[in-house]
Structure 1
Amino acid sequence: MQSIVAFILIFSIIVIFHEFGHFYFAKRANILVREFSIGMGPKIYHYQGDETTYTLRLLPIGGYVRMAGLDEMAETIERGMQLILETDSDGQVETISLATDQQNYNGLPIEVFASDLEDEMFIEGIPFGQTDVRRFRVSRTANLVEADGTIIKVAPSDRQFQSASIWQRMLTNFAGPMNNFILAVLAFILLGFFQGGVPTNDPVIGDVVDSSPAADAGLQAGDQITEIAGQSIDSFAAIGDAVSNHPKEELDLTYQRDGKEHSITVTPTAAQASDGSQIGQLGVTPSQSMNPLTIIAAGFQRAWAIIAMVFAVIGSMVKNGFDINNFGGPVYMYQATSQVVSMGWLGLLSWLGALSVNLGIVNLLPIPALDGGKLVLNLIELVRGKPLSHKIEAYINIVGVVLVFLLMIAVTWNDIMRFFG
């Protein structure tokens, strides 16, 4: 249960940050955001804001920001549909309900004859019990009650996504992954403060492992190593370089303590490397820095290191071929979260940062239906001077959705096989 709660919490935080990026920049571009949803599937709860409805849905596997545009309303209200209209004292429609199975004694049932909820803002229809077609003016801020009871706003054409400038749309599409990177940096910065600092590359010992060669030789925390086996030491990384090639060999070591220089002999232990070879180890850890600027810089550096690692994996697949084992879906993320839970909340914070970076990069891949695919369409429009036709763009998005769906099935199945294997 603890692992499930941790997984839902981490994934929800990442989704909220990602979608808030789209939400914020859409609002800045005067794009109508109809719904901000956490989760997918059936609606559990919704809250109606001034323009946006905030919903919580059953399946904690994602979320979305629903922006008005691309003929969405034209597909919602069709000739022959049954609606319930609520009007103000002047006869202007303030609420359009598609949920005709719900009792509404304040509304007027009609059968739709024609409608335009983008430019002219009207609905024509035959009211229940009458035979003549009536025309109703619709408010630019009218509510639309969907079949499941979710309340959203109608979308005049000037508030739709495609009415914003190309640069505003590009920024809105990019903002989700951008927020993932920002979240990762914040997580790593907080981790640095909470764990008492970040490792420095200074040749100063932060801690000495008990019963290690360093402890046996009398080295202490705070000692600054200046020379090993005749090699000058100017960084902590240089300590490892000087020791790793000499397992079980006596080495002369010089260090400074309290302003005085001391010389000793140490014999590194032999540890097995990933390639099977043996490397020498002293048993010391780097010193920690609590300098706020150093911790902030370390947060950016750690996020960038993960970004570089992920792109290295992508580059390897481009060069050597696709490998599904380089991907992980919800099953893998849950399994990894279960392992991280044992490391405590600092481990979860670190995992949050790493996962946020990965999801940000995945969303930037130039695959239709993902943010990266949308950015590619924006660039095509920028070069052509006009967007692709809605029909072509719809076909591209359908192909993208199918590809993503098939990839998710394959990745999830592979995760299950690895989990039980």
Structure 2
Amino acid sequence: MLITIITFIIVFGILVLVHEFGHYYFAKRAGILVREFSIGMGPKIWWSRRNGTTYTVRLLPLGGYVRLAGADEDDDETLRPGTPVTIQLNDQNEVTTINASEKTTLFQGLPLQIVDKDLVDDLWISGYVNGDESVVKKFSVNHDANVIERDGTELRIAPRDVQINSASLPHRMMTNFAGPMNNFILALVVFIILGFTLPGIPTNSNQLGQVQSSSVAAKAGLKAGDRIVKVNGHSTRNWQSMTTAISSKPGQRLTISYKRAGQEYTIKLIPKKVRRGKQTVGQIGVMEQQKKDFASRIQYGWHQFILSGTLIFSVLGHMFTHGFSLNDLGGPVAIYAGTSQATSLGVNGVLAFLAMLSINLGIVNLLPIPALDGGKLVLNIIEGIIRRPIPEKAEGIVTLIGFGFLMLLMILVTWNDIQRYFIK
């Protein structure tokens, strides 16, 4: 139980960290201010500030986010007219810190009740100082000033020149795409690592890599290097077709055609009956040929990456063509249940699970749903087609609708997962 919980937190943390770092890195390159980089949701348990970005770790390991300047309006909520704050001034009489939190005290802070502000274009704030409502005082705000929010989180303000909408369209598209892209890169790297943990890479050829001593195959005269080309007259072009033909005939006489040194030979044998779960299958005691070279291990990682991505796309396609079901989706509860199964398979099981989740996260985030990265990219593409910015109000409404849809879907999926895995 404890190992599963720890593994779940690590796996989820890696996925979120890699995804959000993609957005963070390309936003920084585009000159967009990243106000906060958070791992986890809910109350913060640790934070640090560096180069204008506040890094936080929050209590609930169920996601994460980057707050890009201009992508939210939290300052409007935190610093409404009438809000009491304290401000700190520099030697040029500019505001360098606006403290809206009761948890933090500013050294030589000046009490101010906000009347109005502009922290985007002209950079100023006005209000009543020390409770004196007879005069409204106006202060210039430094370009790199900070706001301390009610929960004590300290963030940079978001002037217009460092907001996401001030960046070029290609930079914004790359920033939105970078999260899923990082998930794909992570999955590929993990699958390649798995390739190097295996004793050998299966070739899926019909050539025998090893023949067990005293086995049915050995007694029939088969040797390592032989290539089984037919079973009961049916061609076997790869390992899968060959094993399927043999395993489906337990205890039945088979005619095997194989090639050795360019010559074709025929033998007869009877596969041994072996119980596998609730089924009885036939086995002759041979093992698949494997490669151990560097290139084959890299190629294995690439093939697994493509295979996994194709599988996820086929599942999504099935949902659209055969009807939607909540059982086709999985939230944090399903991921926890999957983590428990993966942990029982050891390190390789966890790595494979991490890679599959990473591809899944990348693909799902690229779906054209507002509030997801794919939805943002669609808006970017529309902007490129019409050659003018989409009105902020319209974009905000679309994003809000998408966010509401996702929240409702997450609640339904989570409840469905609880019923599936914990309520029998």
Q: Tell me if TM exceeds 0.5.
A: yes
The 5-angstrom pairing of residues 232-271 of structure 1 reads: 235-237=238-240, 239-240=242-243, 243=246, 247=250, 248-254=252-258, 256=260, 264-269=267-272
Letter in 1 for 2:396: A
Point out where structure 2 has 5 or more consecutive residues left out of the alignment: none
Q: Which region of structure 1 is more displaced relative to structure 2, 74-83 or 335-344? A: 74-83
Q: Is the CA contact (8 Å cut-off) linking 2:206 and 2:237 kept in structure 1?
A: yes
Corresponding residue for 2:347?
345
Q: Which whole-Å CA distance do the structure 1 matches of 2:19 and 2:72 have between them?
A: 25
Q: What's the CA shift string for 1:133-173, capped at 9, x where partnerless?
A: 22222111112211111111111101001111112111111
- Give the 3-state SS of the residue equivalent to 1:402 in structure 2: helix
Asked whether 1:147 is paired with 2:117, we answer no
1:285–1:372 distance in 2 versus 1, CA, 3 Å: farther
TM-aligned CA deviation for residue 48 of structure 1: 0.8
Q: Is the CA contact (8 Å cut-off) linking 1:86 and 1:96 kept in structure 2?
A: yes
Q: Is the CA contact (8 Å cut-off) linking 1:82 and 1:100 kept in structure 2?
A: no
- Give the 3-state SS of the residue equivalent to 1:193 in structure 2: helix
Q: Which whole-Å CA distance do the structure 1 matches of 2:103 and 2:78 have between them?
A: 17
Corresponding residue for 1:63?
64
Q: Is the CA contact (8 Å cut-off) linking 2:36 and 2:54 kept in structure 1?
A: yes
Corresponding residue for 1:17?
18
Corresponding residue for 2:92?
90
The 5-angstrom pairing of residues 326-405 of structure 1 reads: 326-405=328-407
Q: Is the CA contact (8 Å cut-off) linking 2:88 and 2:106 kept in structure 1?
A: no
TM-aligned CA deviation for residue 295 of structure 1: 1.7
The 5-angstrom pairing of residues 176-215 of structure 1 reads: 176-207=179-210, 213-214=216-217
Corresponding residue for 2:3?
2
Q: Which region of structure 1 is more displaced relative to structure 2, 309-318 or 288-297? A: 288-297
Q: Which region of structure 1 is more displaced relative to structure 2, 259-268 or 366-375? A: 259-268
Letter in 2 for 1:251: T
Q: Which region of structure 1 is more displaced relative to structure 2, 172-181 or 296-305? A: 296-305
Q: Alignment partner for residue 170 of structure 1, among 169, 173, 187?
A: 173
Corresponding residue for 1:296?
298
TM-aligned CA deviation for residue 293 of structure 1: 2.2
Point out where structure 1 has 5 or more consecutive residues left out of the alignment: none
Asked whether 1:316 is paired with 2:313, we answer no
Q: Which whole-Å CA distance do the structure 2 matches of 1:405 and 1:224 have between them?
A: 58
Q: Which whole-Å CA distance do the structure 2 matches of 1:88 and 1:207 have between them?
A: 78
1:377–1:215 distance in 2 versus 1, CA, 3 Å: farther
TM-aligned CA deviation for residue 402 of structure 1: 1.7
Letter in 2 for 1:349: L
Q: Is the CA contact (8 Å cut-off) linking 1:30 and 1:164 kept in structure 2?
A: yes
Letter in 1 for 2:175: T
1:71–1:309 distance in 2 versus 1, CA, 3 Å: closer
Asked whether 1:53 is paired with 2:54, we answer yes
TM-aligned CA deviation for residue 177 of structure 1: 1.0
Q: Which whole-Å CA distance do the structure 2 matches of 1:44 and 1:208 have between them?
A: 58
Corresponding residue for 2:35?
34
1:255–1:93 distance in 2 versus 1, CA, 3 Å: same
Q: Is the CA contact (8 Å cut-off) linking 1:225 and 1:233 kept in structure 2?
A: no
Q: What's the CA shift string for 1:357-412, capped at 9, x where partnerless?
A: 11111111111111111112112222222233222222212221221112112211
Q: Which region of structure 1 is more displaced relative to structure 2, 289-298 or 39-48? A: 289-298
Q: Which whole-Å CA distance do the structure 2 matches of 1:153 and 1:219 have between them?
A: 73
Q: Which whole-Å CA distance do the structure 2 matches of 1:401 and 1:202 have between them?
A: 49
TM-aligned CA deviation for residue 271 of structure 1: 7.7
Corresponding residue for 1:406?
408
Q: Is the CA contact (8 Å cut-off) linking 1:31 and 1:160 kept in structure 2?
A: yes
1:203–1:381 distance in 2 versus 1, CA, 3 Å: same
Corresponding residue for 1:108?
110
TM-aligned CA deviation for residue 211 of structure 1: 7.7
Q: Which region of structure 1 is more displaced relative to structure 2, 26-35 or 111-120? A: 111-120
- Give the 3-state SS of the residue equivalent to 1:196 in structure 2: coil
Q: Which whole-Å CA distance do the structure 1 matches of 2:290 and 2:412 have between them?
A: 43
1:62–1:87 distance in 2 versus 1, CA, 3 Å: same
Superposition RMSD in Å: 2.8
1:208–1:403 distance in 2 versus 1, CA, 3 Å: farther
Q: Is the CA contact (8 Å cut-off) linking 1:74 and 1:117 kept in structure 2?
A: no
- Give the 3-state SS of the residue equivalent to 1:227 in structure 2: strand
Q: Which region of structure 1 is more displaced relative to structure 2, 236-245 or 353-362? A: 236-245
Q: Which whole-Å CA distance do the structure 2 matches of 1:219 and 1:144 have between them?
A: 77
Q: Is the CA contact (8 Å cut-off) linking 1:329 and 1:408 kept in structure 2?
A: yes
- Give the 3-state SS of the residue equivalent to 1:310 in structure 2: helix
TM-aligned CA deviation for residue 302 of structure 1: 1.0
TM-aligned CA deviation for residue 197 of structure 1: 3.5
Q: What's the CA shift string for 1:65-84, capped at 9, x where partnerless?
A: 11110462445432222121
Q: Which whole-Å CA distance do the structure 2 matches of 1:396 and 1:58 have between them?
A: 29
TM-aligned CA deviation for residue 236 of structure 1: 3.0
Q: Which whole-Å CA distance do the structure 1 matches of 2:254 and 2:200 have between them?
A: 33
- Give the 3-state SS of the residue equivalent to 1:69 in structure 2: coil
- Give the 3-state SS of the residue equivalent to 1:37 in structure 2: strand
1:19–1:214 distance in 2 versus 1, CA, 3 Å: farther
Q: Which whole-Å CA distance do the structure 2 matches of 1:192 and 1:104 have between them?
A: 55
How many residues align structurally? 418
- Give the 3-state SS of the residue equivalent to 2:308 in structure 1: helix
Q: Which whole-Å CA distance do the structure 2 matches of 1:19 and 1:285 have between them?
A: 43
Q: Which whole-Å CA distance do the structure 1 matches of 2:93 and 2:273 have between them?
A: 86
Letter in 1 for 2:193: L
1:316–1:44 distance in 2 versus 1, CA, 3 Å: same
1:406–1:253 distance in 2 versus 1, CA, 3 Å: same
1:208–1:370 distance in 2 versus 1, CA, 3 Å: farther
Asked whether 1:138 is paired with 2:145, we answer no
Q: Is the CA contact (8 Å cut-off) linking 1:226 and 1:256 kept in structure 2?
A: no
Q: Is the CA contact (8 Å cut-off) linking 1:74 and 1:116 kept in structure 2?
A: no
